[in-house]
Structure 1
Amino acid sequence: MTQQAPVRVGIMGFGQTGRQIFEFASHSDDIEVVAIADIGKPEILQYLLNSEVEQPERHRLEGNFLVNERCRARLMEIDRPAEMPWDIFGVDAVIDSTGKYRDRESMESHLGNGAPRVLLRTLPTDHIDRIVIPGINEASASVDDRMISAGSATTSALALLLHSLAPEFAIECGSMTTIHAFTSDQALQDYAGSDFRRSRSAAKNIIPNNHEASLWLGRILPDFDGKILTSALNVPVQEGCLLDVNLVMADSAVEVEAVNEAMRAAAARHPGIIGVVEDPIVSSDVIGNPLSLLFDTKGTIKAGGNTIKTLSWYENLGHAARLLDVVRLYKQLDQQQEAA
């Protein structure tokens, strides 16, 4: 059987997620990153990548190319989708990992410049073709999809938790708070921005924030549309996030161990995406974990007659891995269409 050519991927934005995607791809046989668009200087981008990976000697800079044994990616000092000529690189898909260009117009710019398909690493601001969360709704993906989102690390973790529990328990409503590591768009010192609280120093404050997962949850899990309130607390840690979810069960007979057992079963059904931890871990213990959801059995508590509180862990690395899973999913759909 002839071996399939690797998927040719372009990345816009070589921040944390972009670098994680590149590192994952460099260890794969089926993904090849061929172009990277970022305003940063090539030598600084390589320096940042090498400061994070276990084998920095694998990645070298050859002129404007970031090279390893699997990829030879052209570095382009470009910051806007409308400026990036994806057509000259023959990409099969573009992952926009900037977190900035989330609207249809920006996604259409990627498509107009030669990207057959564009995948956002975060939630969109407009309605697009599909939101795909691995472990939940891969079967809904269509070969005709061109503008896709893989949700966000927090949205995926929440959706996977709800998707795992809903078949076992009737859930009336709930609330989620993500205790989230600070993000690159926060100021390290107090600095006037567009939001009062986010103008305060990320390095020394717990900063309440809204979270838009609730706005899109109905697109992923229709049964939970309008039933889950979501919010965030950005805290002064660099990596590792905690998902604190309170669920109101219809049946007051639901107990802690039943919820934990349901999550153990979900982890067995979705290895590599969902995990369960029985030990008393903290946020630094989840750094480097490629799962989308690590359920903490010691954090499950029953409050009153119907409320179950759960704790789960995640970090951005798992979301980077899922982005490549979505790229692979659409490549399979393309191949099936070609073979038909």
Structure 2
Amino acid sequence: MNDFAAHRDDWMAKEELAERMIPLIGALRREHEVVTSLHGHRLLGLSTTGVIEMHERVAQLGHGQLVLGETLAVLQALSEIAPGASSIDVARLVEGHAGSDQPLDAYLREALAPAMGATPAAPTDVVLYGFGRIGRLLARILIAHTGGGSGLRLRAIVVRRGSDDDLVKRASLLLRDSVHGKFAGSVTVDEDAEQIIANGTRIQVIYSDDPATVDYTAHGIHDAIIVDNTGRWRDEEGLSRHLQAKGVARVLLTAPGKGELKNIVHGINDSTILPDDRILSAASCTTNAITPVLKAIDEAYGIVRGHVETVHSFTNDQNLIDNFHKGDRRGRSAVLNMVIAETGAAKAVARALPELAGKLTGSAIRVPTPDVSLAVLHLTLENPATKDELNDYLRRVSLHSKLRQQIDYVESPEVVSTDFVGSHRAGIVDGLATIANDSDVVLYVWYDNEYGYSCQVIRVLEVMAGSHPVVLPPRREVTLRA
């Protein structure tokens, strides 16, 4: 057999294994509320080639090589064992069984004992107040995570009516996105009920100009978390208008909060969320991107001082062409200019990470790209480090630490901003760009300021709702300290 035929046959064998996995992955989610992943990367919804690519990708990220046949064997055994609601890392089960002398069935029953009989989290109604860039991405994620009706349930969106065919236009914007691509599934409208139907999820569209006047209970919505994506109100007084509406329990702002509001960066200070916190902020995309990296560096090497420069994609509050704008410079065309702008991200870091208070300054440049931004961290460290030491540490943090959901790591001389569209991590360290000169270092952190941030918002929502399932097998946490 020649090389061409051998490679073709090998690929077809991989396709056959991946094809057998897909119905098992779906059935585990539908019938048992089990979400499967490979080192934290979800398998649900992947195509045949997507499953194969994911096996290769986790190896490229620094994990051990995964064999598709071994993944399939674990998925088949999981279907027989039928654990309860849980988030199961199949790759870690494969690795664990490789070091065990137990039969696969016995090993899995022991490793997954906490999930046996586990029940799904109680449902929590979620309403998106505002349906712009972040609102629509949150909708996509919530719909993709919908299982048997437990956990977070997207029930409604609240917008101001823009035209007679407003409902159709809103649905079209959910279906088609110039940056993030087509919605994975079906989107239709029920004009009589004023609802958007996405992959079986009925989303009530409520038209209102005043959050205090909405009666959510009239739509069967109770004790809801309102996610305010408008940015119109940023302090407790303004956001408390939501709490005056019938059917509302709590509010989450997807922008930096002002005053005494808690600004939450998941992975950093989400443990400070209390049951009686009725209004919270999920901070900004930049704050979410840089705070985890700064946390990791500060714990390992100590940060004396630093400057954060964000090279940020343009946003909807800028002008497409030159026109009046109340903000400085933002009236100039966003698609033709680099625009020096203000950022509160450096100060906002201290809201989530008080030990860095007064140590950071920040500035920003808006650039003519629609998504994915870059933070350049100029830091002076207490303890010197080489480039290799820093990169090895940050790579390990991205794989094994408590910040693995927030920090990703890449080493490639070819990556550019569009390669990070759709990243579910808050920030991605570009290892090849790292500069280290004794105690002076420069780190480059990419971030999808839309999707990566939206994933962080979802994580905060899960904490607020208490809806995240048990994660198995439990990880052996690697300390952030070098």
TM-score, normalised to structure 2, is 0.66
1:308 is aligned, of 437, 441, 452, to: 441
Secondary structure in 2 matching 1:20: helix
User: In the alignment, which residue of structure 2 is the partner of 1:58?
Assistant: 186
Larger mean Cα displacement after TM superposition, 25-34 or 10-19 = 25-34
1:87 deviates by 4.3
1:150 deviates by 1.0
Following superposition of structure 1 onto structure 2, how do residues 156-171 of structure 1 map, counting pairs within 5 Å? Answer: 156-171=288-303
User: In the alignment, which residue of structure 1 is the partner of 2:206?
Assistant: 76
Contact 1:197 1:208 in 2 (8 A): yes
1:46 deviates by 0.7
1:263 is aligned, of 389, 394, 408, to: 394
Higher helix share: 2
- C-alpha distance after superposition, 1:37-56 (max 9, x if no partner): 11242111111111125346
- C-alpha distance after superposition, 1:268-299 (max 9, x if no partner): 22333211011131111111111111111011
User: In the alignment, which residue of structure 1 is the partner of 2:108?
Assistant: none
Q: Are 1:331 and 2:465 counterparts?
A: yes
Contact 1:143 1:330 in 2 (8 A): yes
Q: What amino acid does structure 1 have at the position aligned with 2:418?
A: S
Q: Are 1:287 and 2:396 counterparts?
A: no
| Counterparts of 1:142 and 1:230, CA distance in 2 | 30
- C-alpha distance after superposition, 1:288-332 (max 9, x if no partner): 1111111110110125x4310010111110111111111111111
User: In the alignment, which residue of structure 2 is the partner of 1:27?
Assistant: 144
User: In the alignment, which residue of structure 2 is the partner of 1:152?
Assistant: 284
1:223 is aligned, of 355, 358, 370, to: 355
| Counterparts of 1:139 and 1:300, CA distance in 2 | 31
Secondary structure in 2 matching 1:324: helix
Larger mean Cα displacement after TM superposition, 235-244 or 82-91 = 82-91
Percent identity, aligned pairs only? 27
Structure 2 residue runs of 5 or longer lacking an equivalent are: 1-116, 470-482
Contact 1:178 1:233 in 2 (8 A): yes
| Counterparts of 1:226 and 1:98, CA distance in 2 | 30
1:91 deviates by 4.3
Q: Are 1:43 and 2:168 counterparts?
A: yes
- C-alpha distance after superposition, 1:101-124 (max 9, x if no partner): 212222100111142110011101
Q: Are 1:254 and 2:385 counterparts?
A: yes
Structure 1 residues 55 and 217, CA gap change in structure 2 (3 angstroms): closer
Q: What amino acid does structure 1 have at the position aligned with 2:355?
A: D
Task: Give every structure 1 segment of 4 or more consecutive aligned residues whose post-TM-superposition deviation is greater than 6 Å.
Answer: none
| Counterparts of 1:79 and 1:210, CA distance in 2 | 29
Structure 1 residues 23 and 123, CA gap change in structure 2 (3 angstroms): same
Structure 1 residues 57 and 85, CA gap change in structure 2 (3 angstroms): same
User: In the alignment, which residue of structure 2 is the partner of 1:3?
Assistant: 120
Secondary structure in 2 matching 1:185: coil
The CA RMSD measured in Å over matched residues stands at: 1.9
Q: Quick check: which has more Rg, 1 or 2?
A: 2
Following superposition of structure 1 onto structure 2, how do residues 180-259 of structure 1 map, counting pairs within 5 Å? Answer: 180-251=312-383, 253-259=384-390
Contact 1:142 1:333 in 2 (8 A): no
User: In the alignment, which residue of structure 2 is the partner of 1:338?
Assistant: none
Structure 1 residues 266 and 158, CA gap change in structure 2 (3 angstroms): same
| Counterparts of 2:319 and 2:389, CA distance in 1 | 43
Contact 1:82 1:110 in 2 (8 A): yes
Larger mean Cα displacement after TM superposition, 186-195 or 45-54 = 45-54
Secondary structure in 2 matching 1:199: coil
- C-alpha distance after superposition, 1:49-105 (max 9, x if no partner): 111253465121112101124521111222442343344421421111112221222
Structure 1 residue runs of 5 or longer lacking an equivalent are: 336-340
| Counterparts of 1:266 and 1:59, CA distance in 2 | 39
| Counterparts of 2:467 and 2:263, CA distance in 1 | 16
1:176 deviates by 0.5
- C-alpha distance after superposition, 1:15-45 (max 9, x if no partner): 0100001011111133211110112421111
Secondary structure in 2 matching 1:298: helix
Q: Are 1:272 and 2:405 counterparts?
A: yes
| Counterparts of 2:155 and 2:359, CA distance in 1 | 42
Larger mean Cα displacement after TM superposition, 215-224 or 184-193 = 215-224
User: In the alignment, which residue of structure 2 is the partner of 1:127?
Assistant: 260
Secondary structure in 1 matching 2:375: strand
Structure 1 residues 5 and 165, CA gap change in structure 2 (3 angstroms): same
Larger mean Cα displacement after TM superposition, 266-275 or 51-60 = 51-60
User: In the alignment, which residue of structure 2 is the partner of 1:322?
Assistant: 456
Secondary structure in 1 matching 2:299: coil
1:334 deviates by 12
Contact 2:213 2:244 in 1 (8 A): no
| Counterparts of 1:143 and 1:150, CA distance in 2 | 16
